[in-house]
Amino acid sequence: MKINFIDLQSQYKEYEDEIDKQIKEVCTSAQFIGGEKLETFEKNLAEFTGSSHAIGCSSGTDALLLSLMALDIGVGDEVITTPFTFIATAEVIAFLGAEAVFVDIDEKTYNIDASKIEDKITSKTKAIMPVSLYGQCADMQEINLIAQKHNIAVIEDACQSFGARYKGESSCNLSTIGCTSFFPSKPLGAYGDGGAVFTDDDKLAKKIRMLLNHGQNERYKHKYIGINGRLDAIQAAILNVKLKYFDKEISTRQKIGEHYSDMLFTCKLITPYIKADRTSVYAQYSIRVKDREKVIEALSQKGIPTAVHYPMALHLQEAFADLGYKDGDFPVAEKVSKEIMSLPMSPYLSQEQQEYIVHTLKEIHA
Over residues 117-159, the pLDDT tens digits come to 999 999 999 999 999 999 999 999 999 999 999 999 999 999 9
Cα 193 → chain centroid: 13
What is the structure's pLDDT at 364? 86
In a domain, 2, yes or no: no
Residue 275 sits in the same domain as residue 163: no
Same domain, 173 and 294: no
The residue range of the domain holding 265 is 246-364
- Same-domain pairing of 287 and 237: no
The answer on 231 and 255 residing in a single domain is: no
Residue 171 lies in a domain: yes
Check whether residue 209 and residue 61 sit in a common domain. Answer: yes
CATH code, domain carrying 297:
3.90.1150.10
CATH number at residue 133: 3.40.640.10
Judge if 201 and 268 occupy the same domain. Answer: no
pTM above 0.95, yes or no: yes
* Domain closes at, from 244, 274, 306: 244
Q: Could you tell me if 66 and 210 lie in one domain?
A: yes
Examine the fold and report which residue of 196, 222, 244 is the final residue of a domain before the chain moves on. 244
In tens, the pLDDT along 167-191 reads 999 999 999 999 999 999 999 999 9
- Residue 180's identity, in one-letter code, is T
What does the DSSP 8-state code read for residue 286? E
Residues 236, 281 within the same domain? no
pLDDT of residue 366: 59
Residues 239 and 250 in one domain: no
Pairing mode of beta strands 125-129, 153-157: parallel
Pairing of strands 195-199, 177-181: antiparallel
Nearest-angstrom CA–CA distance, 13 and 15: 6
- 1 within some domain: no
Per DSSP, what are the bridge partners of residue 177?
A: 155
Do 36 and 67 reside in the same domain of the chain?
yes
Question: Could you tell me if residue 80 is inside a domain?
Answer: yes
- Whose CA is closest to 72, among 48, 55, 96? 96
Task: Name the band, by pLDDT with cuts 50, 70 and 90, for residue 1.
Answer: confident
Is the residue at 3 inside a domain? no
| Whether pLDDT at 107 is above 90 | yes
Does residue 138 form part of some domain?
Answer: yes
Cis (ω within 30 of 0) for the bond into 310? Answer: yes
Q: Report the pLDDT averaged over residues 278-283.
A: 98
Same domain, 48 and 176: yes
Domain end call among 216, 244, 272: 244
**Number of domains composing the chain:** 2
